[in-house]
A and B are shown apart, each in its own frame.
Chain A
Amino acid sequence: MNRTLIAAFLRQRMTSPMRVGLMMLVTVFPLGAAILMNSLSALGGMAGPLALILAAGAIGQDVSSGTLQLLLVRPVSRPSVVVHRWLAAVIGAMGISVGTLLLGVLALLARGTHPDLMDLSRMVLESACSAAGSAAVMVMLSTLVGGLGDVGLFAAALIFTQLLVGLGTLEHWDVLLRACSEVQGVLSPQLSWEWMVHRMPPSWFAITSWASTVTLALAVGIARLNRRELSYAAS
């Protein structure tokens, strides 16, 4: 594991005022809601958006600015850049969401409420899966376009799918609705761990859907970066 790549990426992200501001928005409001509602449920959905904020422009921004060309002068392979930036985004998103979750737990304990340990484990596992999924998709999109074009691609895909959902609902096209549901699952890969808490059989479809999305996104991201012409002359 290349710790330098991970540390450098996280340092770069944590010193960007825009990203820090967005991450504050994503964490402070749910934390306030959790304290007000005296329940940790509001803190469950943070990791995905945090991973998106951290991973946005992970490759594309460095390609556009010329930083990646300099980085690759050193003996660093392209797959390594993709995988380590994905790992760094996951570690960052998990660190922030688990930290916020701990703050929520402390706030609840101070008010005399003891959070359920199983529920807490489920939230951490779901956060990890959500962060890994969202970061993989964003890193893949980032290898396709320069700068922060990945954010635009992501938003456009979300809006377009939502429009198709509207059309499918209106026209009763079940196939289209099912396809849109799959696309939405690919854009925001999540994995529910409810089955573990309630001792139910897991949904293998949900597990393979999440895992295939993450591996496919990383494979596409690596393949795309491998085939990209990166030189100051090319740009």
Chain B
Amino acid sequence: MPPADHAGPNGPSRRDPLVLWIVAAVLLAARIGTGIYEEKRPPKVPDLVSWEPAETAPARAAATGKPILYDFSAAWCGPCQRMEREVFADPKLSASLSSLAVPVHIVDRTREEGHNSALVDSLQRVHDVNAFPTIVIVGADGKALDRTEGYPGKQEFMSWVTKASVKSRMAPGTPKLMFP
């Protein structure tokens, strides 16, 4: 039970924030509504990354001397959508990503279609993918050099990709890439 109010010259000193409660309730309802809507129909964002097909990525990596960056994601994954908006739709960051590594986008379709293609399944198994997004940097010898689970924000993500890419170029690798 709140203590008794003493009305001051400017009205009660403990005025209930009724307007704020109403605005908060409306915004909460909008939050739930837009959350459900955007989960089904995520806002269209341009994907500016030059993704390489998984089949040709090792050859491309061998030719360019860059590591492969596997981005394991799913259509329903919220952090993956945030990464798409903040990194893959950014002209500078997407160009930087393509210059640092050979990017490969692997989308899990288990929830939508009940299964994945054999290639997606084998890549997920080899790289022990348990959560989305999982990013794996694979070096010249075909071995995973570094990995991260979740999206830490664009600055941290780009800084991690840069470090992992530099590490992969400095590591003594075999000239031929193993698949995957």
The residues of A that contact B20 with a CB separation of less than 8 Å are: 215, 218-219, 222
A77 interface neighbour in B13, B46, B82, B85, Cβ under 8 Å: B13
Q: Does A202 contact B (CB under 8 A)?
A: yes
In angstroms, how far is the closest chain B Cβ from the Cβ of A168?
A: 8
Q: Does A8 contact B (CB under 8 A)?
A: no
In angstroms, how far is the closest chain A Cβ from the Cβ of B44?
A: 7
The residues of A that contact B34 with a CB separation of less than 8 Å are: 204-205, 208
Q: How far is the CA of A14 from the CA of B139 in the complex (A)?
A: 50
Q: How far is the CA of A205 from the CA of B32 in the complex (A)?
A: 8
8 Å CB contacts to B: which residues of A160-186? 165, 169, 172, 177-178, 181
Kindly specify which of A16-24, A103-111, A149-157, A190-198 makes contact with the partner chain: A190-198
Q: How far is the CA of A75 from the CA of B45 in the complex (A)?
A: 52
| CB–CB A194/B85 < 8 A | yes
Closest B residue to A195 by CB, please name it.
B85
| CB–CB B79/A181 < 8 A | yes
Interface size on A, residues (CB 8 A): 40
The residues of A that contact B43 with a CB separation of less than 8 Å are: 200-203
The residues of A that contact B85 with a CB separation of less than 8 Å are: 192, 194-195, 200, 203
In angstroms, how far is the closest chain A Cβ from the Cβ of B147?
A: 13
The A contact surface, by secondary structure, is helix
In angstroms, how far is the closest chain A Cβ from the Cβ of B80?
A: 12
| CB–CB B11/A178 < 8 A | no
Best-surrounded residue of B17, B45, B131 (most CB of chain A within 10 A): B17
Q: Does A70 contact B (CB under 8 A)?
A: no
The residues of A that contact B23 with a CB separation of less than 8 Å are: 215
B10 interface neighbour in A77, A169, A177, A203, Cβ under 8 Å: A77
8 Å CB contacts to B: which residues of A45-65? 45
Closest B residue to A200 by CB, please name it.
B45
Q: Does B15 contact A (CB under 8 A)?
A: yes
| CB–CB A44/B21 < 8 A | no
| CB–CB A172/B35 < 8 A | no
Q: Does A72 contact B (CB under 8 A)?
A: yes
In angstroms, how far is the closest chain A Cβ from the Cβ of B25?
A: 9
Closest A residue to B23 by CB, please name it.
A215
The residues of B that contact A223 with a CB separation of less than 8 Å are: 16-17, 21
The B contact surface, by secondary structure, is mixed
Q: Does A69 contact B (CB under 8 A)?
A: no
| CB–CB A42/B24 < 8 A | no
In angstroms, how far is the closest chain A Cβ from the Cβ of B165?
A: 16
| CB–CB A200/B8 < 8 A | no
The residues of B that contact A178 with a CB separation of less than 8 Å are: 78
Q: Does A226 contact B (CB under 8 A)?
A: yes
| CB–CB A75/B10 < 8 A | yes
| CB–CB A77/B89 < 8 A | no
Q: How far is the CA of A42 from the CA of B2 in the complex (A)?
A: 47
| CB–CB B78/A172 < 8 A | no
Q: A42-B155, A79-B14, A178-B78 are in contact. List 18 more A-B contacts (CB 8 A).
A: A72-B13, A77-B10, A77-B11, A79-B17, A165-B150, A169-B131, A172-B130, A195-B85, A198-B46, A200-B45, A203-B43, A205-B35, A205-B37, A209-B31, A218-B20, A219-B24, A223-B17, A229-B3
Q: Which residues of A contact B (CB under 8 A)?
A: 41-42, 44-45, 72, 75-79, 165, 169, 172, 177-178, 181, 192, 194-195, 198, 200-205, 208-209, 211-212, 215-216, 218-219, 222-223, 226-229
A and B contact pairs by CB, cutoff 8 A, 24 listed: A42-B155, A44-B155, A77-B11, A77-B12, A77-B15, A169-B131, A192-B82, A194-B90, A195-B85, A198-B90, A203-B38, A203-B43, A204-B34, A205-B35, A205-B38, A212-B24, A218-B20, A222-B16, A222-B17, A223-B21, A226-B2, A226-B14, A226-B16, A228-B2
